[in-house]
Amino acid sequence: MRVFPEYSPVRIARYVKCFFRGSFAIKGKGEFSFDFGKVIVDQIDDRVRLRICNEVNREILGMARVM
């Protein structure tokens, strides 16, 4: 698990896309898990964390279109 000191959607998206399955944490925001190259949003009930998941997943989709 990698701990990111600050929230950076592009950096986190690269990490998720590279490792495909695992978990990461953002200092002050909490832990997140990802599978099949996308951040899992099933177990998240906090709006801030849900917004983070959606932003990272959008960045991942954007990377797929560019490549």
pLDDT digits (tens, 9 = 90+) for 13-64: 999 999 989 999 999 999 999 999 999 988 778 899 999 999 999 999 998 7
Sketch the domain layout of the chain as residue ranges. Answer: 2-66
Q: What is the CATH number of domain 2-66?
A: 3.30.1910.10
Statement: the pTM of the whole predicted model exceeds 0.75? yes
Over residues 5-19, the pLDDT tens digits come to: 999 999 999 999 999
Q: Rounded to the nearest 10 degrees, how much is the dihedral formed by the CA atoms of 27, 33, 39, 40?
A: -130
Helix, strand, or coil here: 23? strand
Number of H helices, E strands in the chain: 2, 4
| Spatial distance between the Cα atoms of 8 and 20, rounded to a whole number of angstroms | 18
Handedness of CA 41, 47, 49, 50 (dihedral sign): positive
